[in-house]
Amino acid sequence: MKLYFASGNAHKKEEMARLLGGFELTLPKEEGISFDPIEDGSTFIENALIKARSLYEIVKKPVVADDSGLVCDGLDGAPGIHTARYGCSDGVKLTSAEQYTLLLKELEGKANRKARFVCALVLMLSHDRIYIIEECVEGEIAPSPRGIEGFGYDPVFLVEDTGKTAAELSADQKDEHSHRGRAARKIKMLLEEVTSEKK
């Protein structure tokens, strides 16, 4: 089964393709499709649904959409749904390193560094057949960045029970622990059920 992934992020596609092994994953831009929906939901699930529905209306084929982010208790839940745009102003986007450096600065002096990565995944097979999974991985924000793997905030997120940042984990280790890994495993089970129905 071919799946369209409602994203423009090649890093996310690489990770998702690995997690959904056995299913072909295609980004809209790989087929020349212009895709940039306005994500004005108030939750990860709402934004994932916006992306899924927007792309499904264009391709009329099965779509997987992800909305994910970092939630920090010491910052009252920020960056949350604004994780990708954290620190951006006047249309100027910060690099990942600039974003996690800003995060570390805002957490200076705060005792509570507990945090979690949250992932909402939507599998849309038709207008009336939609599956939603939301998962998370608990951890805390490290005092300084460590590791060279992964992307985004991975260098500053200490993954629960590992003693390592997400950027210090191998791809297999990250898939085992990550919010996206946990959600994708459930989506893959659903996909396998759906494909077996057609046999």
pLDDT, one tens digit for every residue, the chain (199 residues) = 889 999 988 888 988 999 998 899 999 999 999 998 999 999 999 999 999 999 999 999 999 999 999 999 999 999 999 998 899 888 788 999 999 999 999 999 999 999 999 999 999 999 999 999 999 999 999 999 999 988 899 999 999 999 999 999 998 898 899 999 999 999 999 999 988 887 6
Please give the pLDDT value at position 186.
95
Among the listed residues 36, 40, 66, 67, the single catalytic one is 67
| Cα–Cα distance for residue pair 83/39, rounded to 1 Å | 12
Give yes or no: 67 in active site: yes
Sole residue written with tokens 């507990």: 114
Q: What is the CATH code of the structural domain delimited by 2-197?
A: 3.90.950.10
Please give the pLDDT value at position 171.
87
Please give the pLDDT value at position 95.
92
Bridge partners (DSSP) listed for residue 5 = 64
- Tell me the pLDDT tens digit for each residue of 76-88: 999 999 998 899 8
Please give the pLDDT value at position 150.
81
| Cα–Cα distance for residue pair 67/50, rounded to 1 Å | 10
Domain ranges of the chain: 2-197
Q: Which two tokens stand for residue 101?
A: 């450096």
Burial of 58 (0-12, 13-18, 19+ CB in 10 A): middle
| Cα–Cα distance for residue pair 26/50, rounded to 1 Å | 18
